[in-house]
Structure 1
Amino acid sequence: MRKVVLYIAMSLDGYIAEEDGSVAFLDEVASDSQQEDYNTFYDTIDTVIMGNSTYTQIINELSPNEWFYKGKECYVYSKTTSGVNENVKYTNLEPKKLIEQIRVEKNGKDIWIIGGS
């Protein structure tokens, strides 16, 4: 069965972003071995689930010119469709129901939950 995983960078004091939501500090602390670990992990997933705030940050700040999760199925939690991207499926399903739906639709690799609350 496809596992649901949370793979996240977090400071020792439990934060995943600066007070303003920035994750720029990740570039300062990333090492080659951490990048290798991330690449290994990334190969184990084929689906990503994120909230609208994370999606907005990705398309506006982190990777505005190219969809970062190209080739992965992507679900974004949103009350409205706040952007257009052929790689994104907007949803407001209860997380448990969404995951059950994804698992029923097809066999595949693991499912990654990205971002914060």
Structure 2
Amino acid sequence: MRKIIVYIATSADGYIARKDGAVDWLDRPRPKGNYGMGEFWQSIDTILLGRKTYDFVVRFVKEGKSIPKQKHEPKHYAFSRRPPKKVLPGFEFVKEPIKKFAKRLRAQKGKNIFMMGGGGIIASFLDVGEIDEFIIHVIPTFIGEGIPLIAPRHRTVPLKLLSTKKFSDGVVRLHYEVVKTKAQARSR
């Protein structure tokens, strides 16, 4: 079965971006292999993102920056109750309930699914038991405040550590499996 995997970088204090969405603190020399991103891209064929992350991608494109082209272009699904009138090519907006969408998507043939973020959509998928794994790259920088990895809500979600990797620049990759409750396992 296809997995939904959060593959993301956080500051050492757990933020994925500054309050304004800026990720300038991620601009740093990368070690050879770019933290395994190429291998990860080969394992996915679908990208999920929330509306704020979609808007960030739109700004990125408007600034003349390109989205890296892949041999096989992934399908992009963005979640919003109010989709924009004009949508970037290759993107589709989703309004259906997350659980229903995830079940339908997992039933389709394909590779794993990349949950790009941001914190709100990650939390929404996590709250209905639809995140399978987290691959978190902890950047050795504190930014003090910002957008947390997961939108704050009252929840306890146990994780099982699958692996760790330390890179030469001090970045640490933590690979976790989300431990499903019995009720979540039955609902699939």
Q: Residues 58-81 of structure 1, C-alpha deviation per residue, up to 9 Å, x if partnerless?
A: 1203x4344457611111001222
Structure with bigger helix share is 1
Segments of 4+ moved more than 3 angstroms: 63-70
Report the residue type matching 1:11 in the other structure. S
Contact 2:47 2:113 in 1 (8 A): yes
| Gapped regions of structure 1 (runs ≥ 5) | none
Contact 1:59 1:67 in 2 (8 A): no
Q: CA RMSD in A?
A: 2.0
Cα distance in 2 for residues equivalent to 1:101 and 1:43: 22
Matching residue of 2:16: 16
Report the residue type matching 1:12 in the other structure. A
| Gapped regions of structure 2 (runs ≥ 5) | 121-188
Matching residue of 2:80: 78
Instruction: Work out whether 1:35 is the aligned partner of 2:34.
Output: yes
TM-score normalized with structure 2 length: 0.55
Cα distance in 2 for residues equivalent to 1:44 and 1:2: 10
Report the residue type matching 1:95 in the other structure. I
Structure with bigger strand share is 2
Contact 2:58 2:88 in 1 (8 A): no
Report the residue type matching 2:31 in the other structure. D
Matching residue of 2:110: 108
Matching residue of 1:25: 25
Q: Percent identity?
A: 31
Report the residue type matching 2:74 in the other structure. K
TM-score normalized with structure 1 length: 0.84
Equivalent residue pairs, number: 114
Matching residue of 1:51: 50
Contact 1:75 1:91 in 2 (8 A): yes
